[in-house]
Every structure is written in C-alpha cells, then in structure tokens.
Chains A and B, each alone.
Chain A
Amino acid sequence: MIPAAFDYQRADSKEQAISLLSEHGDEAKLLAGGHSLIPLMKYRLAAPGIVVDVGRIDELSYVREEGDHLAIGALTCHREIETNELVLANTGLLAAATKQVGDPQVRHRGTIGGALAHGDPASDIPSAALALRASLVIEGPSGEREVEADDFFTGFLETALEPEELLTEIRVPKLPNSTWSFQKFNRRAQDWAIVGASVLIADNQCGVGLVNMDSKPVRATALEEAIKNGASAEEASELAAEGLEPPSDLNASTEYRSHLARVLTKRGLQESGK
C-alpha cells in the first residue's frame, strides 16, 4: 500500500512549522513519528496535499520539571517517556499507559504529541492525559495558548487544534504519591484497546480516562463523582459507562464495551487501593 501523492516539506523549527501551516492551511498535515498518519495515508483514509515533517525539531523533545508539573515536549517519543526517570517518579500512570502503546518499534517512532493531536478515542495516551488532568500547550501565528485535556478532544479524530496551530508541550501535574492503574483489554499484545482505562487516585481526587468508550477520548465522570462521594470500587465502577456512547464494531458491541468498562475500572480502582 502506497499513500496518494503529496508534497513534502521539512520544518527545522516550530516557527517554520507554523509558517508552513499558515501558508497551506487545511491542505497541510503535520508528520511527527508518523505512526498514526502514515497508516491512514496508506489506507487512503487521509490524503493531505502537503505533509509538513516536524520529526526533527529536537527542541520539542524533552522532559523537564517545572514547579508543580512536568513539561513534556510534544515530540518526545513513547520509548523516552516510558523509561524517563522524572516520568516514572512523578507520573507513573503516564509511563504505564505509554508502555502499552503498540510495540517497541512503534514506541521508538511514535510521539506523545502525535498521539494526542490525532485525537483517536482508541488511543491509550489521551486516557492518561484526561485522568491526570494534563494540559496542552498550543502555538500558532497569534501566539501560545494552554488548553485543558478535557477541552482538547472535541470529536472523532478532532481536537481544539486549528489548522495553522502546533501542539508543542504537554504539562502533567507531578503526583509522586498518587496510586494508579492502566487497564487495557485487547485480543493481541500489540492491538488497539477494545476498551481501556486510566485510573488515578491522588489526594482523594479520582481521575478515570477511558479508551474506546465514545466517539472521542472521555472521562468516566459519574464514576469519578461517586468515588469522591465515598463509593466503593464495586459501586463506583457500575457507573463507568454512564452517559457514554461506546461504538459497536467487529471487536465488540456497545453493550460488551460498557461491560468491559465496568470490569476494567473496578480492577483499576482496586489496584489503586480503592
């Protein structure tokens, strides 16, 4: 399978990337590690006129401690995140979810920013970003803005990113004393989750992000609320699919996905000490 023809431009800095995006608008698509975009292009589900390769903007690959949060450059690859000591010590849930992305080859190339900007409800990383209440830094021609993960995912493969904007940084609260669990149900090790759950318990706050349980990455808000009000893992997990519209496909029906969400969040909450 070969993608449809496109023009290729490599950006060496984020300024150059933003200027190329401004110039080409909707026609352009950003390429980071390529492990979401290239398969889509090979299947001809995406056929951008111009691909702007940001994969070599090294200034966007880093993990730094900044006050109460970790700042992670959007082009930091999964392999770096799953093994980074700052991430492991301060936000273990993100490392655990990242370790479940695809396989080692995919994690060598794929980036945290790419996985988030793709906005795929079946991806593991958005669920962790939601559970952790991460925020995302976006840069465009008119400057920088910061968007909460909750407001970033707007629809199926749609995000708050405007065509001329670039996701530059992910800010994850430092929660060294949190307990957490990442649960993923799939048929083969490297597959996408049929359903997944990122569970985080910190200072009596509960964050639960779900994979593949709606048309966009979502939190299990009814479950979170129940935990806050003192419900047990067993009681709260019954509410995991409340208000959500999980898809139905060859792997699982809507009902089965709802069942999996209840089972996986219960396991996740129990593993997190609830």
Chain B
Amino acid sequence: MTINGTKVSADVEPRTLLVHFIREQASLKGTNIGCDSSSCGACTVHLNGESAKSCTVLAVQADEQEVTTIEGLADGETLHPMQEAFRDCHALQCGYCTPGMVMAAVSLLDEIPAPTELEVREGLEGNLCRCTGYHNIVKAVLQASGSKS
C-alpha cells in the first residue's frame, strides 16, 4: 500500500489490522490505538482520502490503496491548516485523541467545506476526547474552515 506517498510493502497475516501495519511495519507511531473497538476514533486515518478507523480495517483491505496518517499532513516544516488551527485554539489537552481528531476533521472539511458548529459536532461524533476538550476542538475546526464560530 502507499502510506503518505511512500510505497510500503510487507508480508503479513490476513488478520493483521491496518493500525498495527501502520505502527509496526511502517513504523509510524502517530496513529494511536485507543479503545480498539471502533468507538473512540483515536486510530482514524484516511483510506483513499476518506476517514476510517484503522483498528477496524484489515491491512489486506488496504492493499494497493492510499493511506494518509497524521505524519502525512504537514508539508515539511509547514503544518497543515488544521494542525495550525488546533495549535492556535489549544485544541488538545493530553493529546492522545489529537491525531485521530485532526484526521477526522480534515475529512469532514473535504465533505463540508464550510460547516456550522452543529455540523462540526456531528461530524466528529466518531471521535472521543476523554479530557472532554471538545469546545476548543470545535473552535479549531471552525477556524480552519474559515467559518465564524
């Protein structure tokens, strides 16, 4: 498969989950494992441009497909606008949910470029922040979209 524009190839058991492939075969540790049961969204990556929970995708399902992880968003030293907005708005506390939140938020804006606050909240329903820092996360997504909160 291609991860962040780089071809990654390995022989793995069919039962290998995409999140394990990303963390272990591709050695990209930015994608976190949270609940491991497709509830929390910490493992969210983009599969062919759409957000997906990588704990509920088999690595073989992503064979020959395009995967983007949090490491693939920034352009060199220049942060992705969503990462910039999360930093500006202090949209993280412990930071564990952040990679998944950012990936889900980028996918959300691809589908709804100028969302309302409600659409942001609904669009991030698959991502849990156990610090309960949702307020600033929503603010950051709205800022990145250019919408007024």
Please report A residues at the B interface, Cβ cutoff 8 Å.
1-8, 10, 31, 34-35, 38-39, 41-43, 51, 53, 55, 79, 102-106, 108-109, 189-190
Residues of B within 8 A of A53 (CB): 60-61
Residues of A within 8 A of B15 (CB): 2-6, 41
Residues of A within 8 A of B16 (CB): 2
Additional 14 contacts, C-beta under 8 A, given A104-B104, A108-B51: A2-B15, A3-B15, A4-B15, A7-B14, A31-B58, A103-B127, A104-B51, A104-B125, A104-B126, A105-B52, A105-B126, A108-B50, A108-B52, A190-B39
Residues of A within 8 A of B38 (CB): 35, 39, 102, 105-106
Check if A106 sits within 8 Å of B36, measured CB to CB: no
Interface residues of B in 16-64 (CB under 8 A from A): 16-17, 20, 36-39, 41, 44, 47, 50-53, 56-58, 60-61
Which of B57, B104, B107, B122 is in CB contact (< 8 Å) with A34?
B57
Interface residues on chain B, number (Cβ under 8 Å): 31
Check if B61 sits within 8 Å of A105, measured CB to CB: no
B123 within 8 A of A: yes
Check if A39 sits within 8 Å of B37, measured CB to CB: yes
Closest chain A residue, CB of each to CB of B125: A189
Check if B58 sits within 8 Å of A105, measured CB to CB: no
Which of A34, A42, A190 is in CB contact (< 8 Å) with B126?
A190
Residues of B within 8 A of A42 (CB): 36-37
B105-142 vs A: 1/0 string, CB under 8 Å?
00110010000000000110111000000000000000
Which of A39, A41, A55, A189 is in CB contact (< 8 Å) with B122?
A189
Residues of B within 8 A of A105 (CB): 38, 41, 44, 51-53, 104, 126
